[in-house]
Structure 1
């Protein structure tokens, strides 16, 4: 085990420094692996390993033909993968490949500087894909590593230890931190330059614009955060935490889709107080911090009765009570909202209900249609409420189960659920129930969103994860409008009442932590979630409006970005003046005797006589007499007086007198 370390200690400086730089580059590139094409990650790994082997064994670098061939592979691979060499994804792929290839021609200090700054740029590109606290912490380590390599490259010849360069780099980062904080707080903020998050929800829990029933054999619970909620006062009860998302009303036998915009425009969006939206009781006020999702949906507690408010946010409600933004949410968004958990929504008469809410595709689910006819025969009154209760009774007593592994469904998804499999997750249950309701001529639709959440005891925020994504149903009743019916709560009451989620398989470390100390595991997770939330609230969500609020607190009446610029420039001037004052004060603290001797050395240097910094005044006087003869007798005597003033037991002239004599001396040319 000691041989590799002994070998590392015996490497020449350039080999050791190269290995350290390669390690830092690997650290910078690792977070990109999840976003890079597989061939890029493989190419970078091979090149870095090749370059490390050359440095370890002291072998010569490859010829330029190798570099040209690998460059051609990188360009061709980027073009074939992205069909362009421009843009975020193609640009990041190319810059990572070029950074790795540049290490194969690391011959001079100039090449090292190119690698340093390519590394800094590649480090920043990690934020195109994620601005999370974990990524920021990883990039902070990368920054310190690159600074250490840069400082080490400027250190003198020999073999200076890397820990000395790391110490200097750490001090540089600490000294630069105040400047970074001031720029972060006051530099005018414009639209973000970060990339749009990718939208890949297939096979994972979460929301989508459509709902395909039965195509996914198993559902992987995604524990990532969808949004966080902070309630003012007491939050609603657990069964009332329904956050409304897309409403799906068109069904082709396999897939649910929203209504076409033209159909939705037949009725204007409801407003609080009109007959189609009546709220009861006091409203619930809360704040939502929504993670980027590249969708226009604004998740609000059902039902949002007022437009959500946030700087620059334009929101509108659809006729199906869903709130949407005028543009996709591609950055962290925090907005305030008001909702009523007790409300009545929708037309009161059947004539005003769209026929699309009762339509079923022909040729699908014949056994479900027969089940509907049987339930209607058993309830001859034809009362819609009794038919709904009959459908729920079928779910309650028919041996149906809630599972994440229902298998792939066939063509008749509702038939398979009701009669064959009798198991599924919320989309299977909601879809089959709506098909049954429509088969009994009861208008019904599927509503998707999130249900529930988890209270973080550290910061008091409710954390709603992608695993809390849910699908429920709404049925239309005469004189009552649209009424929420959650058939999943009949099959698995704990899913909506007690938040008893089905959990995905845990990792080895998480399982071990839960086994050894589940309380500690929960506490650590809550603390980490609170740290992430603080990062989101104070860093990622630090918008221009919050900057301007700071200026308002400082006394500006109507601040704008021009005022921010003036404050920033003024602060820069003040800091520069303070720096000048500190420099002047520091000069005054130097030994005045040494400063006077330094002035004499400078005048002699101009006269052509070089003296060392350690040469005493008596020796300088001898050199002056030897070089300039009798013409410099006065200067030599003054130098002897200067030495006597510092070292004689009974000094003669004081420093002010010597300083005045210095101004009257005749200097040789």
Structure 2
């Protein structure tokens, strides 16, 4: 295959690497054979060649496999510099694109993988790049598919899709140095897009590896000659990253957190697993989400597992299919705590929900990480003002037992918690009416009626399951009937909502509460972890004289759900036989350690905000710091960093090795330059032999011109002595080395002698000029 442009084709594949400064590849008049012939059994074997030890005749499958590996290694080492650098660049681009694969459309992931593999094949086989018309067709197709998938070309999802496709298509026309730079810069931009979806420690570590790989490719592109080893260039990339670390830390700590600049777009905001609405099946879906919702640390002894209820939105209104909260509450204005207090620190993951899931019974709470975020209590629910999509650290105090001081007029305002939609679940309502009209229920209190309902759940073999056999039509009108009367199996939301409907049908005010139940202890950092899989729904009924009382119907049918910490799925679940039960403790310890480190990352890095910046300035002596003080400190820090970097660069500059002859020769050079206008060419100080040649030429010219000074006997003697001393100096420098003390003394004596002879010649020249000056009569 001949290099250059063919009809309808681009030139040969020229990856970044051995490229000239003008972006062109020199010496492409012909393409040499890249892969040397690899000897195979029975074909192309050199006479007398022997098979490797352990592979007699390379016979059998083992010998064939070993020979294939050997051939592959020979091909890799014979790969051109351009091919190697291109494969490195493609590998790094694949690394930074890999986390996007679950989020990209299937056609985008398939197209990007195909393009990268195609370009890698061309680099491996030194093939020809696709023609320009094919690239244009692929570009138009990618844009059209993006529009059809997202109905837009603007936004996070279509933007990331386009960047991925444009990057891979650019790799297919990778010909010169500027093309490689474009691919590298697109790779850096893809790293930034990863943080639109997640900013956890795992993402940071993976993208740090991507930065190192792309920086290594950038350094390779700046070394067009030779074949620098990848390990050496990789070390230089690490060194460059370490040089930039101080600047990164200064900007991270002091750069102002401006709202529009320091926030994510609306379609990139984080969302919690909880919602302020509830439909049957919604909480069961959260049970499959193992992401962390919150972390909590108790000041003293932690309460038992059955008391770990984290209260989220309270849902009051039921329209037959969906539960929603009301905008007001009855009761809770005056709550009297009973028993010992539980003090705790809780860290909430970013959420858009205004409800704050705190430990049930929390009566005092304050955001410790942000003073500008206000928490407001409405009954036992907590809402926040501000701080959406931000990780919050809250200090709270909760009481497991409390009593509400109910106003006398409250009973007349309980109608919203007795309301049921007409035309829904008639069989459940009839069952509740029969229980209420029975002799045991006619005059029963709210607590007694609740006990009767819970006894029914226990005795009628209701079953708790994460995957209930729901009706095929999720919009059916009688979902409660289907669960309570027919199927009798469901998740916590089924039990809680059916219980509330039954209690309301019997004239007892009731409502649904959603949140989390249970926590997993992490011994690494001493915190309890609550995951979205711990999402839970329970009920509350109104008791005259006591207020709202928590009732959890799920605890009746599945007490292990609330009495034991939540269990994680086995890492090898689903495998046949004993493998499915294998749960090594080492994996669990590694997971706990990773979660503890990730929490520190979230608190120290991701949670660093304006409040921490102002607190830092106050600790440094500012009484009331503002943005101007922060900007001034940033300017001083950058100036100090620049000065320090300059000093380090000066101190580590390339120095010439110390030369013992530099100072003596400099003295000789200054002394002789004062008597001779002919200074030898070249760097100073000149060698003694160069001065001898220059002085001989100068004095010979003076004798030819009849200079009177050249005929003075004393001057002739001084000149001869000077030439002799220069010869001795040259012999001392390049001849056999004498003993060290003697050599130093001889050198100093010769230098002083040359300096003295140069002064004598200046004096002789001055006298000769004075004598030759004609006297006036």
- Using structure 2 for the length normalisation, give the TM-score: 0.74
Match of 2:706 in 1: none
* 2:178 matches 1:110: yes
Q: Deviations over 1:249-287 (max 9, x none)?
A: 12122221222x3xx2xx58955xx3xx33224543322
Equivalent positions of 1:134-533 (< 5 A) are 134-191=202-259, 192-195=262-265, 206-214=273-281, 221-259=288-326, 261=327, 264=328, 270-271=332-333, 274=334, 277-309=335-367, 310-317=369-376, 319-327=378-386, 329-345=388-404, 347-349=406-408, 351-376=411-436, 377=438, 378-409=440-471, 411-501=477-567, 503=569, 506=572, 515=581, 518-533=584-599
Match of 2:198 in 1: 130
Match of 2:687 in 1: 617
Contact 1:119–1:146, Cα closer than 8 Å, also in 2:
yes
Q: Deviations over 1:365-423 (max 9, x none)?
A: 22212221222213221422211111111112111121111122354222222222211
Contact 1:431–1:446, Cα closer than 8 Å, also in 2:
yes
Q: Return the offset for 1:74.
A: 2.5
Cα distance in 2 for residues equivalent to 1:591 and 1:382: 103
Cα distance in 2 for residues equivalent to 1:352 and 1:386: 22
Contact 1:611–1:620, Cα closer than 8 Å, also in 2:
no
What SS is found at the alignment partner of 1:128?
A: coil
Q: Deviations over 1:76-133 (max 9, x none)?
A: 2333333333232222222222211211221111111121122111111101110011
Q: Return the offset for 1:209.
A: 2.5
Pair 1:412–1:528, CA change in 2 (3 A):
same
Q: Return the offset for 1:146.
A: 0.7
Contact 2:90–2:116, Cα closer than 8 Å, also in 1:
yes
Q: Return the offset for 1:226.
A: 0.6
Number of residue pairs the alignment of both structures matches? 647
Pair 1:535–1:581, CA change in 2 (3 A):
closer
Cα distance in 1 for residues equivalent to 2:757 and 2:552: 100
Match of 1:82 in 2: 150
Contact 2:725–2:750, Cα closer than 8 Å, also in 1:
no
Cα distance in 2 for residues equivalent to 1:109 and 1:36: 29
Cα distance in 1 for residues equivalent to 2:324 and 2:442: 33
* 2:622 matches 1:556: yes
What SS is found at the alignment partner of 2:363?
A: coil
Equivalent positions of 1:59-78 (< 5 A) are 59-78=127-146
More displaced 10-residue stretch of structure 1: 44-53 or 343-352: 343-352
More displaced 10-residue stretch of structure 1: 115-124 or 558-567: 558-567
More displaced 10-residue stretch of structure 1: 323-332 or 652-661: 652-661
Contact 1:290–1:333, Cα closer than 8 Å, also in 2:
yes
Pair 1:461–1:627, CA change in 2 (3 A):
farther
Match of 1:591 in 2: 658
Pair 1:576–1:257, CA change in 2 (3 A):
closer
What SS is found at the alignment partner of 1:336?
A: strand
What is the Cα-based RMSD across aligned positions, in Å? 4.0
Contact 1:197–1:292, Cα closer than 8 Å, also in 2:
no
Cα distance in 2 for residues equivalent to 1:326 and 1:29: 37
What SS is found at the alignment partner of 1:286?
A: strand
- Using structure 1 for the length normalisation, give the TM-score: 0.86
Contact 1:123–1:142, Cα closer than 8 Å, also in 2:
yes
Match of 2:3 in 1: none
Match of 2:105 in 1: 37
Cα distance in 1 for residues equivalent to 2:453 and 2:444: 13
Cα distance in 1 for residues equivalent to 2:220 and 2:683: 30
Cα distance in 1 for residues equivalent to 2:756 and 2:197: 68
Q: Return the offset for 1:182.
A: 3.2
Pair 1:642–1:64, CA change in 2 (3 A):
farther
Contact 1:450–1:468, Cα closer than 8 Å, also in 2:
yes
Cα distance in 1 for residues equivalent to 2:223 and 2:164: 28
More displaced 10-residue stretch of structure 1: 131-140 or 643-652: 643-652
Q: Return the offset for 1:449.
A: 0.4
Equivalent positions of 1:514-663 (< 5 A) are 515=581, 518-582=584-648, 591=658, 611=682, 617-618=687-688, 620-621=690-691, 649=743, 650-652=746-748
Cα distance in 2 for residues equivalent to 1:486 and 1:458: 32
Q: Return the offset for 1:333.
A: 2.4
Greater CA radius of gyration, 1 or 2? 2
Pair 1:583–1:125, CA change in 2 (3 A):
closer
Cα distance in 1 for residues equivalent to 2:295 and 2:573: 25
Q: Return the offset for 1:489.
A: 0.8
More displaced 10-residue stretch of structure 1: 395-404 or 648-657: 648-657
Contact 2:618–2:624, Cα closer than 8 Å, also in 1:
yes
Cα distance in 1 for residues equivalent to 2:562 and 2:533: 13
What SS is found at the alignment partner of 1:380?
A: coil
What SS is found at the alignment partner of 1:166?
A: helix
Cα distance in 1 for residues equivalent to 2:332 and 2:723: 100
More displaced 10-residue stretch of structure 1: 531-540 or 370-379: 370-379
Q: Give 5+ residue unaligned stretches, structure 1.
A: none
Pair 1:584–1:11, CA change in 2 (3 A):
closer
More displaced 10-residue stretch of structure 1: 180-189 or 589-598: 589-598
Q: Deviations over 1:24-58 (max 9, x none)?
A: 00001001112222222222112111211211121
Pair 1:183–1:217, CA change in 2 (3 A):
closer
Q: Give 5+ residue unaligned stretches, structure 2.
A: 1-68, 703-718, 738-742, 763-777
Pair 1:48–1:419, CA change in 2 (3 A):
same
Cα distance in 2 for residues equivalent to 1:109 and 1:541: 41
Contact 1:476–1:483, Cα closer than 8 Å, also in 2:
yes
Contact 2:292–2:531, Cα closer than 8 Å, also in 1:
yes
Q: Return the offset for 1:213.
A: 1.6
Pair 1:591–1:198, CA change in 2 (3 A):
closer
Contact 1:402–1:423, Cα closer than 8 Å, also in 2:
yes
* 2:119 matches 1:51: yes
More displaced 10-residue stretch of structure 1: 247-256 or 426-435: 247-256
Match of 2:767 in 1: none
Q: Deviations over 1:214-241 (max 9, x none)?
A: 5899775211101111222223332221
Cα distance in 2 for residues equivalent to 1:37 and 1:657: 88
